[in-house]
Each structure stands twice: as C-alpha cells, then as structure tokens.
Amino acid sequence: MTNNLCGTPLCIATEYQRLEIVKLLLQSGAEIDRPYGAGVTALIVAADLGWIDIIRILIEQGASIDISDDLGATPLMAASQQNHVNVINLLLEKGASIDKPGPNGITALRIACDHGQLDAARVLIKHGAAIDAVDRNGSSALLSASSHSRADVVKILLDNNASLDLVNTDGMTPLNCAASEGNIELMEWLLDAHAEIDKKNSYGVAALASAAIHGQLNSVKFLLERGASIDLPNVEGDTALLMAVWNGCTEIVDVLVRHGASVNWVDYKGWTPLTKAAERGYPQIAEILLQNGASIDYQRPKGETSLNIACQHGHLDVVVTLVHGGANIELADSQGYTPLIIAAQLGFPDVVQFL
C-alpha cells in the first residue's frame, strides 16, 4: 500500500515518518486528501504504518477520516489489517465510521478477522462493530473465519454472540465450513455454542454431508459421535453415504455404514449407494455395501441394475465383485439388454470374456 516513491510530497513524508516535514507541507498549503497511485491518501498511509502522531496532525488539519482508496479501503480498515490498536482507537474517537463497507461489502472488523488480527477485532467489537455484517457474498466474519479454519477468531466471535445461523450465497453455514475443513476444535466450539448439528445449507447439505463430500474422515467420526442424523438427504435426495460413495471415500463409506447409514437409500433420481459405486468404478466400496446388505439386483427407473451399470462403463473389477456377490447376470433392463449384451455393444471385451 505504501511502498511507492512516486506519491505526493505529503504522502512520501508520511510514509517515512517525517513529522516536521508533514507539518511544513500542511502549513504551505499541501492538499491534505490528495491521493496518489491507487487512491491512497496521507491518512491511509499513516494508518497503515501506525504513525499515530502524524495521524493526529492530519486529522486536526481536516483530513477526511473516512476517505477510501480505489479498492475501498479506509484508514480504519488499513489500521485494522495491521493490528494498530492505538490507531483504531484514535480514529474511532475522532468519528471514523466503524462499519463503513468497502465495495465488496467487507468492513474493518471483517478485515481484522480475515487477517487474524485478534487485538484489532476485540477493540472493534468493544466499540460496537456490527459482528454479523455480511459482504456481497452473504459471508459474515464468523463464516469467513470458519471457512479458513481460524479457530482463534471464531472463539472471539462466538464469545461476542456472533450468529450461528447465517448462510452465505454458496449455501454454507459456519458448521458446514468447519466440517469441510476438518477442523474438529472449531466444530466443537460451534456445537458448544449451540449450533444446530443438522442445520442444512441452501442445497440441503448438513455438516455431516459436507464432511463426507470433502473427504474429512475425522469430521465424519466427530459429527456422528455428537449425534448428527446419518441419513439426512439434500435437495436431490442424496445422503452423506451417497455423497461419500460418489467421491470414492472408502473409509468414510465404511464408517457411515458401520454407524447404520441406509445402504439401500434411493435418491430422487433412483440412485442407490451400490448403483453409484458401480457407475464410478469403486469395487472396494461395492464390497463394503454388499457385506452390509445392499440390494444387489435393485433396478433403477429404466431397469438398470448395478451390474448393468458397471458393464456400461467397463468397470471389470466392479463387475467381478458384483458377480461374486451373487448378481443376476441375466437380468435385463427395460430395453431388454442384459449385462453381457451391454458390454458387447459398448466394446468391453474383458468384461464380455468374464461374463
């Protein structure tokens, strides 16, 4: 922000903390709010660097306290990003707008939180900063801290009653974010603060499913221990197990099944965990599902079985697993195609030879 020798004389004097030169320039009629570069003024430079004596002079001489650079950063935002608590206090004492947002809707508190500046965050909250202010993406300081695994920031925000119920435009809740990142400590704090463990985001995905989607095994185990509903479907009818299968997360599939997830759940398009495993080509997952009671000859709306589907994609390992598990190799789909016919038509000779 400040390493630019092509600024105005006042900005350069400010950057190099030349207080007497700053006074002389102001006495000589220097434009106090004249910007340089990306719209940076002397007050923004001073706030960024923490030069409090120069800040006092600039404010006394009429510098615009809420002026913004081209990116929308105010002096208060600059001080918050750099954790200059004394500067923050002075700017607020002199009337700086504590919740003035930048073009993207981010406030000084959000900037402090995003940069892990805990002292700045505490001071801003103490002065009444809007703790649940959201940016243009609907993300609050708590949502942002949760998505970046900033547990220390989350703790401060929770201690000051930040809302646990906000959902950003990506449909994420703080608990969703923490589960996706695999941050157990953060999830524990959120749940201890009474976050709803089964609260769904705008896509119908609860924390357990978020953990499963992102392959966070420890998050899955933790949420199950804390009582998460195991078969909670999203807007497409997919459960955490179906999502784990889709992403090939074998260990998570095993954990979910052992905790009682429905192996024969059918989503709104007629997919079961086993048919998804067959399509994606995951023999180990198929084996786990079969060992735990998956319906091997279940037929989707057009009559496709898991074996039909595995043959469509040439997944020989899955075909072998299904046949050894007792799949009916003569069961045809609604068009009359058997697994053998499908494999032959689609050109999978290894599958044909095995069948």
Residue 5 has pLDDT above 60, yes or no: no
Task: Report the alpha-carbon distance of residue 260 to residue 78 in Å, rounded.
Answer: 52
In angstroms, the Cα distances linking 232 to 145, 190, 235, 270 are 26, 20, 10, 16
Q: Which pLDDT does position 115 carry in this prediction?
A: 96
pLDDT (mean) for 328-344: 97
Name the more confident of 4 and 49.
49
**Residues 176-207: tens digit of each pLDDT:** 999 999 999 999 999 999 999 999 988 999 99
Residue 1 has pLDDT above 60, yes or no: no
Q: Which pLDDT does position 172 carry in this prediction?
A: 86
Percent of the chain with pLDDT over 70: 98
pLDDT (mean) for 242-254: 98
SS (H, E, C) 49-114: HCCHHHHHHHHHCCCCCCCCCCCCCCHHHHHHHCCCHHHHHHHHHCCCCCCCCCCCCCCHHHHHHH
**Residues 314-335: tens digit of each pLDDT:** 999 999 999 999 999 999 999 9
Q: Which pLDDT does position 269 carry in this prediction?
A: 97
pTM comes to 0.84
Residue 164 has pLDDT above 70, yes or no: yes
Q: Which domains, and CATH codes, for the chain?
A: 1-97 (1.25.40.20)
Residue 6 has pLDDT above 70, yes or no: no
